[in-house]
């Protein structure tokens, strides 16, 4: 095994730089003469703009410009596009209303941008914004997805009757209905997948500059991929050649899906920089994050399952209302439909599935991908259903799963939703997790808790997700004169540890040490394309691109080594950074080759021309690989205080199958982070709008509860590597989103189990202490009344 190669628990090489204050986030990057932008936002959920006067603001001290939609329109700036026109029933396209960077005649959610003020200082911009006169004429608003399609509900867009953006389906409705009708029993469950504010540690920001001589714009912004931003902004919004827009992303303080998309503020700073010929910066404040960042989840789902007399599922029918907010974010319609619905079979053998999703508009912030992007929503549906159905027919949740698991012997297995799992032993993963969690002894622990006035519960979820192979990926490897490597790659680190993982892959491929690898990402001038980060794709797609570029590097190095060693290229072997004549001890290192090029050794003209700047090779990985299907089992054990409703997680056990693991420490960090986010959604986090006024009631950390360290127990994680992915050469399966998929149903299943003595069969997320207390009080009152 190569030292520090694939499979090693190498500590993150980027951490010293980050922990010693040498990170380069958007707000750390300064431009000479930069000025500051401030966004005037709507205080109304729904209103006509009957008058807008910015003249006093334009005359305020330090103000350089005050811009409205009229200014953007006059410059030909187009609306922000929706990139996923997913066809619905009868091939109908979704309703895709305009999404202007600045409101055009009407505002449609709290925080909708109305005007952009640019001044010499941020304080001057804020002061000037207070001088803008806006005459808002209030309109009726709706912030509840359950009301969106009801008669009499305010219309968000005239072109979307009933506020329906898209009516989408998957599966054979007739076959599913017939199977349900023929079932021994049908169980039905209504579920809420609560809306989430993403709350990345680093708020969004953007810095734009314009070079008049070259007519080039530059945007610096925290993102999950610069090429996607450049493509949309250049092609669709500003309608300029892509080479006229450079997009840069350096360090990013968390993305979780939210930083994939184009936002109005990026459009505003680019427009203002071009207009003013000055660098323009906008940095979001936390309050703005709550009312302007894309949000996650927000589904209402009814699921019906047919069961035979042995508790095996015969059919599944899922109906969902998915809230997309007031405007369509880049991938809004895709997330609740084609992105996640194919995972509704989960790890179970389900003969037929029919899915109906109605995507609706409300007067709320746009909703898009959040960690897992559709797959956590699907897993929550099926894993809550399994537990609910088990209680309905009187068997244990683990036995219900055993009766319905896809057997290991059936792999590869194609589900009724049309995806093929290449590998996985779901029953074995559950059994291992149960053993680790002392599942068989739980009832004794329940009795002990009851003696102390506590309600103890245990719950599990057996998840599977699809990830890893979207788009294409580019990697460029440049061998430096000292033998070190500069790796340019089109993925984008958001804290996952790309510098470490890629260094380990290069250690295996080229025999270099991690400290010899310099990672460069996030600059559209250094590569031609890149897929960014999302969907747990970076290690697989980036790794395959690195493998291709490494092979080119080795081929070029063998050619040059042949000249150095006076041997034919075909007689040169490469191993662990050394090039040698086969069958001899004559050898040179990769560093020797790089140094020889640097010193201008005598090479044939065609070779010398190819390595003028050293060995510099690029590979574009464009093969269409099957998705990877990481899977596993989460087991959560809780104790609920009957007097207060407060829930404490006592133990949390995870068994994960990620195939071949590049770095166990990095993978564990990803699982821990995702699991905490899932626990946060299950217990604490909830985006609340006032149903009467449309005001955001949970618009700060005073009202929106994020998980803290004392909410989370030690997570007991085991990664099983004896089932590598069978459909890619690396054997890897994605790991970045697994925790957020497995955690919510495991936690809720545990809480329902704790409350089962009160006859509770379901609790919606978030299971706050107040909600649980009310459930207990209601059950106690009913018991007294019955007596």
* Contact predicate 773/645, CB 8 Å: yes
Element (H, E) at 58: helix 55-58
pLDDT for res 786: 66
- Could you report the per-residue pLDDT of 43-95, keeping only the tens digit for each? 999 999 999 999 999 999 999 999 999 999 999 999 999 999 999 999 999 99
* Contact predicate 81/100, CB 8 Å: no
Is residue 361's pLDDT more than 60?
Answer: yes
User: What is the pLDDT of the chain when averaged over all its residues?
Assistant: 95
The rounded distance, in Å, linking the Cα atoms of 682 and 296 is 14
Is residue 784's pLDDT more than 90?
Answer: no
Is residue 530's pLDDT more than 60?
Answer: yes
pLDDT for res 50: 98
- Could you report the per-residue pLDDT of 184-196, keeping only the tens digit for each? 999 999 999 999 9
Q: Which parts of 238-396 fold into alpha helices (H)?
A: 264-276, 286-292, 375-393
- Mean pLDDT, to the nearest integer, of 16-42? 97
Q: What is the pTM of this model?
A: 0.96
- Mean pLDDT, to the nearest integer, of 253-267? 97
Is residue 559's pLDDT more than 50?
Answer: yes
**Strand 587-589 with 196-197, pairing:** unpaired
Is residue 266's pLDDT more than 50?
Answer: yes
From residue 324, how far is each of 365, 533, 686 by CA, in Å?
8, 22, 16
* Contact predicate 68/117, CB 8 Å: no
pLDDT band at 641 (very low <50, low <70, confident <90, very high): very high
The rounded distance, in Å, linking the Cα atoms of 330 and 341 is 19
pLDDT for res 611: 76
Q: How big is the CA angle at 366 (ends 165 and 230), to the nearest 5 degrees?
A: 100
pLDDT band at 785 (very low <50, low <70, confident <90, very high): low
Inter-axis angle of helices 498-510 and 543-565, nearest 10: 40
How many beta carbons lie within 10 A of that of residue 445, not counting itself?
16
pLDDT for res 1: 46
Q: What does 249-266 look like in DSSP terms, one character per residue?
A: ----S--TTGGGS--HHH
- Could you report the per-residue pLDDT of 276-310, keeping only the tens digit for each? 999 999 999 999 999 999 999 999 999 999 999 99
The rounded distance, in Å, linking the Cα atoms of 83 and 229 is 12
**Strand 106-107 with 47-53, pairing:** antiparallel
pLDDT band at 126 (very low <50, low <70, confident <90, very high): very high
* Contact predicate 525/246, CB 8 Å: yes
Lowest-pLDDT range of 32-36, 354-358, 621-625, 733-737: 621-625
Contacts of the segment 698-704: beta carbons below 8 A, 24+ positions apart: 698/197, 698/290, 699/287, 699/290, 699/291, 700/286, 700/287, 700/290, 701/286, 704/197, 704/199, 704/290
Is residue 99's pLDDT more than 80?
Answer: yes
Is residue 217's pLDDT more than 90?
Answer: yes
- Mean pLDDT, to the nearest integer, of 564-576? 93
Q: Please state the φ and ψ torsions of residue 621, each to the nearest 5 degrees.
A: -90, 110
- Mean pLDDT, to the nearest integer, of 578-592? 93
pLDDT for res 787: 59
pLDDT band at 772 (very low <50, low <70, confident <90, very high): very high
Is residue 613's pLDDT more than 80?
Answer: no
- Could you report the per-residue pLDDT of 447-463, keeping only the tens digit for each? 999 999 999 999 999 99
The rounded distance, in Å, linking the Cα atoms of 506 and 383 is 39
């Amino acid at each position: 095994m190569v030292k520090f190669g694939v499979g090693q628990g190498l500590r993150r090489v980027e951490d010293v730089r980050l922990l010693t204050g040498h990170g380069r986030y958007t707000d750390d990057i300064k431009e000479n003469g930069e000025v500051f932008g401030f966004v005037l936002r709507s205080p109304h959920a729904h209103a006509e703009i009957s008058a807008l006067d910015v003249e006093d603001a334009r005359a305020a001290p330090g103000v350089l410009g005050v811009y409205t939609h009229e200014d953007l329109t006059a410059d030909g700036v187009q609306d922000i596009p929706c990139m996923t026109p997913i066809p619905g029933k009868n091939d109908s396209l979704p309703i895709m209303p305009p999404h202007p960077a600045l409101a055009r005649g009407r505002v449609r959610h709290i925080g909708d941008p109305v005007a952009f003020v640019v001044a010499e200082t941020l304080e001057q911009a804020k002061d000037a914004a207070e001088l803008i006169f806006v005459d808002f004429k209030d309109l009726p608003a709706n912030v509840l997805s359950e009301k969106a399609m009801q008669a009499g509900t305010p219309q968000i867009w005239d072109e979307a009757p009933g506020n329906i953006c898209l009516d989408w389906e998957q599966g054979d409705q007739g076959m599913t209905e017939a199977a349900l009708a023929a079932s021994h029993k049908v169980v039905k469950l209504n579920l809420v997948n609560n809306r989430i504010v993403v709350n990345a540690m680093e708020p969004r920001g953007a810095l734009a500059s314009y070079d008049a001589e070259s007519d080039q714009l530059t945007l610096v912004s925290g993102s999950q991929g610069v090429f996607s931003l450049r493509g949309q902004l250049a092609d669709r919004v500003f309608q300029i050649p892509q080479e006229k827009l450079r997009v840069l992303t350096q360090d990013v303080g968390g993305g979780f899906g939210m930083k994939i998309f184009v936002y109005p503020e990026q459009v505003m700073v680019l427009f203002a920089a071009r207009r003013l010929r000055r660098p323009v910066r906008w940095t979001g404040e936390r309050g703005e994050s709550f009312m302007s960042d894309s949000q996650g989840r927000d589904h209402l789902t009814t699921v019906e399952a047919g069961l035979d007399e042995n508790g095996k599922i015969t059919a599944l029918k899922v109906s969902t209302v998915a809230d997309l907010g007031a405007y369509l974010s880049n991938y809004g319609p895709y997330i609740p439909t084609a992105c996640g619905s194919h995972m509704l079979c989960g790890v179970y053998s389900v003969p037929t599935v029919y899915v109906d999703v109605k995507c609706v508009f409300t007067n709320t912030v746009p909703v898009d991908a959040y960690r897992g992007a559709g797959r956590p929503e699907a897993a929550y549906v099926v894993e809550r259903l399994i537990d609910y159905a088990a209680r309905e027919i009187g068997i244990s949740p683990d036995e219900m799963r055993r009766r319905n698991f896809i057997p290991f012997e059936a792999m590869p297995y194609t589900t009724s939703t049309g995806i093929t799992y290449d590998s996985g032993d779901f029953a074995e993963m559950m059994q291992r997790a149960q053993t680790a969690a002392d599942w068989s002894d739980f009832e004794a622990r329940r009795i002990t808790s009851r003696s102390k006035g506590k309600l103890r519960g245990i719950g599990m979820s057996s998840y599977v997700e699809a990830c890893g192979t979207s788009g294409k990926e580019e990697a460029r490897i440049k061998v430096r004169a000292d033998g070190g490597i500069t790796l340019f790659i089109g993925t984008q680190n958001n804290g996952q540890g790309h510098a470490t993982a890629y260094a380990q892959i290069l250690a295996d491929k080229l025999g270099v040490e991690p400290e010899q690898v310099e990672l460069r990402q996030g600059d559209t001038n250094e590569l031609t394309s890149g897929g960014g980060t999302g969907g747990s794709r970076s290690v697989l797609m980036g790794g395959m691109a690195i493998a291709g570029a490494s092979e080119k590097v080795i081929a070029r190095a063998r050619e040059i080594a042949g000249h150095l060693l006076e041997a034919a290229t075909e007689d040169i072997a490469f191993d662990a950074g050394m090039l040698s004549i086969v069958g001899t001890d004559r050898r040179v290192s990769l560093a020797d080759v790089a140094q020889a090029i640097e010193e201008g050794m005598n090479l044939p003209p065609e070779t010398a021309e190819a390595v003028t700047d050293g060995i510099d090779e690029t590979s574009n990985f464009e093969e269409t690989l099957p998705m990877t299907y990481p899977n596993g089992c989460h087991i959560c054990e809780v104790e609920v205080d009957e007097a207060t409703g407060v829930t404490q997680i006592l133990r949390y056990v995870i068994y994960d199958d990620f195939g071949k693991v590049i770095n166990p420490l990095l993978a564990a960090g990803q699982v821990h982070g995702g699991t905490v986010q899932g626990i946060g959604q299950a217990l604490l986090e909830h985006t609340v709008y006032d149903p009467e006024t449309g005001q955001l009631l949970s618009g700060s950390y005073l009202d929106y509860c994020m998980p803290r360290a004392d909410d989370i127990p030690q997570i007991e994680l085991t990664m099983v590597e004896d089932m590598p992915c069978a459909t890619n050469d690396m054997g890897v399966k994605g790991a970045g989103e697994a925790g957020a998929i497995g955690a919510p149903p495991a936690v809720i299943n545990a809480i329902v189990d704790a409350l089962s003595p009160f006859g509770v069969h379901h609790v919606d997320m978030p299971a706050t202490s107040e909600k649980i207390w009310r459930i207990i009080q209601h059950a106690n009152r009913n018991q007294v009344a019955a007596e």
